[in-house]
Amino acid sequence: MEKSLPLHLLHANSLTIIINRSHLILHFIAILLLIHYRLSFFFQHPTLPWLLIFVSELLLSLSWLLWQSTRWRPVYRTVFPERLPPNDELPAIDVFICTADPNKEPTVEVMNTVISAVAMDYPPEKLHVYVSDDAGSDATLRCVKEAWNFATYWVPFCRKYGIDTGCPEIYFLNSRVEDYELKDSEFKQDDGKMKQKYEVLKQRLKTIVQHRDVALSTNARDHPSIIEVINEHPKEEMPLLVYVSREKRPSHHHSFKAGALNVLLRVSAMMSNSPYILVLDCDMYCSDPTSARQAMCFYCDPQTSPSLAFVQFPQMFRNICGDDIYDGEIRATFKIYWPGLDGVGGPIIAGTNFYMKREALLGNFSKQGFTLHRKGWKSVYLYPKRPQFLGTSTTNLNEMSIQWTRWMSGLASVGISRFCPLIYGPLNMSLVHLMGYSALALEPLLQCISLWGFALIPQLCLFNGIPLYPKVKYWHLIQFFRGDNVDEPLFVGVTERSLRVRMGWSLQFKVSDPSFYIFSTIFVSSISKSLYETVVTTGGEFRTWRNEWRLWMMKSVTCATYGSLDAVLNKLGMKDASFLPTNKVTDDEQVKLYEKGVFDFRAATMFVAPLVTVILVNTAALVRAFVKALVVADGYWEQMVGQMFLSFYILVSNYAVIEGMVIRGDKASIPLSVTLLSAVFSVFIMFIGSAMLC
């Protein structure tokens, strides 16, 4: 009876699907009308600015269309680990943890990841944990040994009392007084001892790191390989723990994280060779010990398992708070895109927090970005209520921009390679799935070209009085009075009339060119759909939506642009691939700003100057247009209102940049030098742009 019950279920919300598809049809019709409008005008009066803005509109529409694949059939999954076969029938798992830089990746956190992996709720003889240390640091090896020593007490403690997290840091942070009072004295005693041991561990780790041989750390790029089994004398309740530092030589390309994973793949093949692999970044605590059992709900199902390559969990973060102005949560990716991809053929690998079938890899990690799906492998996305893994997210502008530039570069390099999903067609992939892949791979290029277009072309034309959007005929304010002639005094000196006189302003506009409706429909439709998705379907707030919208604009002119450039230069052989690991060390001052929702503009000039430049160009265009509208007689408003609105909208959305430039005077505001440099860029753009376009 038990056996026939399903191990996992799939749900699709039909209301969401109906709304998504109806919106898709309406928005698509509006885009077709826009194309018709542009083409018919363009053939009559071909001009360069019209062509450029049309290209921007087409590229953005293409990107929108590709992303619709993720709205086509979003699905959610539930698992029933209690229905799994008994422990002795479960398959074995190898856990891979990668660390690269002891300066950027705090050792206490890395060791918490290691301990939490060792303490996972899985038969210990079927669990093997491999730690890859790309820095080849002797200190890290010693720390792993300390962590192991602690874990030999910690794991039995967790098992004995059924502790619901295998991560000591989370456990000691969250242990609640009320629960504690209910516990018996034996538990209290053990808990006290554990706490003490944990404090000792932290102290030891700190000492090791402080006294580490600095000379060794300079050898991070040049060292022989070290493989050390930490628990040479196996203990019953403990899984295998292995430290691996692959050989690195300056003359050999080491392929960063993918290279490290490939070494772990080979080392583990010689030692445990488990059929399943869990990949974790060094900061990703296994906060819920049951993730392996949850993933096995798919792999132990004889129907799904044969073609299932990996089970992806979302990346979640333990340091998200307040406004989350840098969208550290990466909400859209894990709440919209991945469930969307799951419904049409499977999510792609997010780089961490996934269980992989060894067989699907064919001995190599790096030839994934979509060949697996093309060969007919499937993947599933599991987003349980309780976070399975918790890592650290970027919480300042600089780190966020570096990280996104790296991601954008990675995506763009797929987009411009022969693996571009649109070219490297489907073998076993559906069209919608392929669109999802293309949406990701082409995102950087489509986004940066179109958004630079929207940020500059209409503004340059506005500055020079060239209309790009349909006219609005009447656009004026009417003041009106209303009141009945009743003059009997109510009180001394107050007549009813004077009370009832209403003074009001009404805004009246009449659209003379019906095409104006096409543009306003597209604008309103995009805004309302994204608002609906952020607030209704994914439970965000209005400010969440504002943050995401603003960040999308900001990242287009910085990260997407640099990422695309990086990929192109790389392809042309003019630049080497690079991977700057994200800094996971937190700085109190920066965290305070992040918590308050204040932008920290102490970022590399290359990430701030484009933002300021866009603001300056938009301001100049808008101010000039206003002055002209006041001076030049009739007709100016009607023609220019679309462009004026666009500039106004860009300025309002990015008010935080204006604030950082002229209002805030604190240390983290935009330095005058950056503003001046951007002013030079702006003047340059205005002159050259005006000369070319107008």
Binding mask 278-317 for ligand UPG (x = CB under 6 A): ---xx--------------------------------x--
Of 68, 352, 413, 450, the residue at the interface with ligand UPG (CB under 6 A) is 352
Query: Is 248 a binder of ligand UPG (CB under 6 A)?
Result: no
Of 27 and 248, which CB lies nearer to ligand UPG in the complex structure? 248
Query: Is 8 a binder of ligand UPG (CB under 6 A)?
Result: no
Query: Is 412 a binder of ligand UPG (CB under 6 A)?
Result: no
**β-strands 276-281, 93-99: how paired?**
parallel
Query: Is 403 a binder of ligand UPG (CB under 6 A)?
Result: yes
Determine the Cα angle at 268 with ends 263 and 269, to 5°: 100
What are the residues facing 296 on neighbouring strands? none
What are the residues facing 378 on neighbouring strands? 308
Of 109 and 281, which CB lies nearer to Mn ion in the complex structure? 281
> Which residue, among 509, 462, 476, has the nearest Cα to 627 in the 3D structure?
462
Query: Is 329 a binder of Mn ion (CB under 5 A)?
Result: no
Contacts with ligand UPG in 119-148 (CB under 6 A)?
132, 134
105 is in an annotated binding site: yes
Q: Tell me how far, at minimum, the Cβ of 393 lies from Mn ion, in Å.
A: 8
CB 439 within 8 A of CB 340: no
> DSSP label at 501?
-
134 is in an annotated binding site: yes
Contacts with Mn ion in 254-313 (CB under 5 A)?
281
Query: Is 579 a binder of ligand UPG (CB under 6 A)?
Result: yes
Query: Is 246 a binder of ligand UPG (CB under 6 A)?
Result: no
Paired tokens of 576:
């080497």
Determine the Cα angle at 259 with ends 254 and 264, to 5°: 130
Query: Is 448 a binder of ligand UPG (CB under 6 A)?
Result: no
Q: Which amino acid is residue 669, in one-letter code?
A: S
Q: Which amino acid is residue 562, in one-letter code?
A: Y
Rounded distance between C-alpha atoms, residue 98 and residue 168, angstroms: 20
Of 30, 119, 205, 260, the residue at the interface with ligand UPG (CB under 6 A) is 260
Query: Is 134 a binder of Mn ion (CB under 5 A)?
Result: no
104 is in an annotated binding site: yes
Q: Which amino acid is residue 119, in one-letter code?
A: A
DSSP per position, 212-261: --HHHHGGGGSB--EEEES-SS--TT--EEEEEE--B-TTS---HHHHHH
Residue of closest CB approach to ligand UPG = 351
CB 391 within 8 A of CB 320: no
Query: Is 57 a binder of Mn ion (CB under 5 A)?
Result: no
Rg (CA), the chain: 29
Query: Is 533 a binder of Mn ion (CB under 5 A)?
Result: no
CB 419 within 8 A of CB 571: no
Paired tokens of 178:
């009320």
Query: Is 409 a binder of ligand UPG (CB under 6 A)?
Result: no
Q: Tell me how far, at minimum, the Cβ of 281 lies from Mn ion, in Å.
A: 5
Of 148, 407, 519, 607, the residue at the interface with ligand UPG (CB under 6 A) is 407
Helix axes 431-463, 672-693, angle to 10 degrees: 90
What are the residues facing 129 on neighbouring strands? 95, 241
Ramachandran bin of 113, using left for φ above 0, alpha for ψ from -120 to 50, beta for the remaining angles:
alpha
281 is in an annotated binding site: yes
Of 27, 77, 406, 546, the residue at the interface with ligand UPG (CB under 6 A) is 406
529 is in an annotated binding site: no
Q: Which does 403 bind (CB under 5 to 8 A by kind): ligand UPG, Mn ion, none?
A: ligand UPG
Binding-site residues from annotation: 104-105, 134, 257, 281
Binding site for ligand UPG (CB under 6 A): 98-100, 105, 132, 134, 256-257, 260, 281-282, 315, 351-352, 403, 406-407, 410, 579, 581-582
Binding site for Mn ion (CB under 5 A): 281, 582
Binding-site residues from annotation for UDP-alpha-D-glucose: 104-105, 134
